[in-house]
Amino acid sequence: MWYVLGILSRWLLFSGILTAVGSLVFRGLILPKHPLSTRSPDDPDSYDVVVGAAHFGVFAICLLLIGSLGRLAAQFAVFRDPYASLTSELSLLVGSTTWGQAWAWQAVFGIIALFAFIAAGNRSKKFSSTLWILAGLAVFVLALTPAFSGHAYGSERWTVALVIGDFVHVMAAGVWLGTLFVITGTVVVAKGRGGHVPKADLIGWIASFSPLALASAAAIGVTGLLASWVHVDQISSMWTSPYGQRLSLKLAVLLIVLGFGAFHWKRAQDRVQASHGSGRLPLTVAIELVGGLAILFVTAVLVATPMPGE
């Protein structure tokens, strides 16, 4: 039970971090070039996509905080001394271990990011830029924490390179899959509220997103190869050890998702242009996102899998 809870909690945590990064990228790098409100700004029911991006950030941090609480419960249940008091054991876990300190940073900066996104979601623009910057700084720290509660910090060699690589890996995944989720979600929510995203705007979003996605895919590949080279002692471990088998599965799913990403880079704008009525993303985008969730799930399992030789 606790093993399953740990996996699901890490899956929620990773999904939350990536979506939070995606909301920041959408707000900071894509919308300034292609701003949109689906109706007149004077209409109180107008769907403001900047506010919508903040709402996706709130959703992301809620996922992250739920995942963090689940991870704490699972970790505490597995390593708790049944003869010690709950408070002393909890204090020991959180305050005296690297895992616990990383968890504490997730909790603190998760709460900071949550309040920043909530405040940024207000239609008042008085402190909007400051709030988005605060949310960005908090998410920056949150993206760094998985490295200190996983294999990267626990490695006996290349520790600094692995921690940096893990951070880049998480950020790149957020820029790619997180931003794609926010763009897709914005189209769906706008339609659900009776509005729409015009083709020209959606094509503009895709045009701005595509080079970011390509650079992110390259960064994911490089950092993934670095981690594999350090963690896998020999090639045969990729199919003989549980860690290697799960890593191979992750790489296989990643290649499939990258294939869909390459297809969208080449064809998505034409597909949107050819769609009838308002702008609509191709159905294959949903497949790419489902593949991304599958990668995160395998990653959640991989983090708890002993490396070859352990």
Q: Which pLDDT score is estimated for 42?
A: 47
Q: Which pLDDT score is estimated for 36?
A: 62
Q: Which of 47 and 5 is assigned the larger pLDDT? A: 5
Q: Which pLDDT score is estimated for 119?
A: 93
| Confidence band for 46, pLDDT divided at 50, 70 and 90 | low
Q: Are 32 and 49 in contact (CB under 8 A)?
A: no
Counting Cα atoms < 13 Å in the Cβ hemisphere of 17 gives 28
Quote the percentage of the chain above a pLDDT of 70.
Answer: 82
Q: Are 250 and 299 in contact (CB under 8 A)?
A: yes
Q: Which residues contact 279 (CB under 8 A, 6 or more apart)?
A: 187, 196, 197, 198, 199, 200, 201, 202, 203, 272
pLDDT tens-digit readout, 6-23: 889 999 999 999 999 999
pLDDT tens-digit readout, 59-82: 999 999 999 999 888 877 766 666
Q: What is the pTM of this model?
A: 0.89
pLDDT tens-digit readout, 162-213: 899 999 999 999 999 999 999 999 988 888 777 677 778 888 888 889 889 8
Report the mean per-residue pLDDT for the chain: 83
| Confidence band for 107, pLDDT divided at 50, 70 and 90 | very high
Pick the most confident of 151-155, 246-250, 275-279, 292-296: 292-296
The one-letter amino acid code at 288 reads E
Q: Where are the domains of the chain?
A: 2-303
| Confidence band for 53, pLDDT divided at 50, 70 and 90 | very high
Q: Which pLDDT score is estimated for 120?
A: 92
The structure tokens listed for 290 are 């489902």
pLDDT tens-digit readout, 131-143: 999 999 999 999 9
Q: Which pLDDT score is estimated for 83?
A: 61
| Confidence band for 112, pLDDT divided at 50, 70 and 90 | very high
Q: If you average pLDDT over residues 236-262, what whole number do you get?
A: 84
Does residue 40 surpass a pLDDT of 60?
Answer: no
CA distance 235 to 246: 14
User: Phi and psi (nearest 5°) for 212?
Assistant: -65, -40
CA distance 106 to 92: 17
Q: Which of 97 and 16 is assigned the larger pLDDT? A: 16
Q: If you average pLDDT over residues 34-52, what whole number do you get?
A: 63
Q: Nearest-CA neighbor of 191 among 281, 58, 79?
A: 281
| Confidence band for 309, pLDDT divided at 50, 70 and 90 | low
Does residue 221 surpass a pLDDT of 60?
Answer: yes
Among the residue ranges 13-17, 44-48, 91-95, 185-189, the one predicted with the least confidence is 44-48
Q: Which residues of 280-296 are buried (b: 16+ CB within 10 A; e: fewer)?
A: bbbebbeebbebbbbbb
